Structure 1
């Protein structure tokens, strides 16, 4: 075991899974399992004691689930790469895990060599995602290109549609049972969120997107 060994902590509540992961890593020269935890609390204790280069963590653990533990780990040890493992299909948890700071996400059904590749990759400071997941992430990013009006709150959206259909703030206030002041706050907020300057632009936007009856 040379200096170049990557020290791995395995956090999983199933002893059989931990054994399986250890068996896979036992065949590699550069990866060595130096700690095991059966739950999130224990994982955090071990991480605080130090000495790990990569953490392998199950998304579903008893006392505190993996995503919550991951957030705590990233708060205290922002540079420690955490690779999340899950029985679930990737689309269910992967994007949440990556948003919470995971360095990668791997389904437990993946081939053993993928696990080895993933650990080496995150230890080197890179992110690891499978080809399927990369595709889903690309789609998720494209979804962020949805039209601005879909990001408004219900009240802001109502106000938008009513202004676009030519109603005054007073009329809108009467219809929604709100004060004119409140309606103008919604108007200001939605103009800001949608990067529009005035009612004319707002009306044009409403007509363009078919929001005006």
Structure 2
């Protein structure tokens, strides 16, 4: 019996290419396609696939935002993220939200087969090109601090309070703009502060920055 796959990507050419690769892998078949996060949730509910190949950057509802709804409508389905983004923080975020694996879009067909086989067996899979960076990042991260911010968010908060823009922070930390924007939103939400002067006051009060910064 074939493993049934649902392919979600907002680029038709990507879907065509991945479908062609999967057609050459014995034991797997694509039973449906989706082009945004909302549609993949609807298709998952309807088709109950075994594995979803899910892109991160899709219009309207992103792949990341679709992960938790997918767990609700198709709890037995496993998700393999298929993305061009290789930032370790983004990979870890995907795994925390329920993804079972993460594969880069430029992976060879042989690695796609390895990933699908592993996911089908109930294992997790990380693209070989990012595995070490993800492990290093996971080991380097400390538990959330008393104020609810992670070490990465503290680092971004310091840069925000020093007047650094989102793109500058992203370039300096080797992150995507989208990842920095997500961290910024989480910082403001967790602290209940929604403007930069408020963040500066909070950081000074908590000793995160000093008046010399």
TM-score over 0.5 for the pair: yes
Larger radius of gyration: 1
CA contact (8 A) 2:41 2:73 kept: no
Structure 1 alignment gaps of length 5 or more = 155-213
1:133 matched to 2:130? The reply is yes
Offset of residue 93 of structure 1: 1.8
Q: How does 1:73-152 map to 2 (within 5 A)?
A: 73-144=70-141, 151-152=145-146
Offset of residue 142 of structure 1: 2.3
1:43 matched to 2:40? The reply is yes
Offset of residue 145 of structure 1: 5.0
Deviations 1:117-168 (A, max 9, x none): 111211111101133433223323322458xxx82339xxxxxxxxxxxxxx
| Separation (CA, whole Å) in 2 of partners of 1:153 and 1:23 | 49
Q: 1:132 to 1:21 in 2, by over 3 A?
A: closer
1:153 matched to 2:147? The reply is yes
CA contact (8 A) 2:48 2:74 kept: no
Residue number in structure 2 paired with 1:52: 49
Once superposed, which parts of structure 1, at least 4 consecutive aligned residues long, lie more than 6 Å away?
none
Q: 1:17 to 1:143 in 2, by over 3 A?
A: same
CA contact (8 A) 1:90 1:106 kept: no
Bigger drift between 55-64 and 131-140 goes to: 131-140
Classify the secondary structure of the residue corresponding to 1:79.
coil
| Separation (CA, whole Å) in 1 of partners of 2:114 and 2:41 | 24
With the length of structure 1 as denominator, give the TM-score of the two structures. 0.64
Classify the secondary structure of the residue corresponding to 2:126.
coil
Classify the secondary structure of the residue corresponding to 1:69.
helix
Structure 2 alignment gaps of length 5 or more = 149-213
Residue number in structure 2 paired with 1:186: none
Offset of residue 113 of structure 1: 1.4
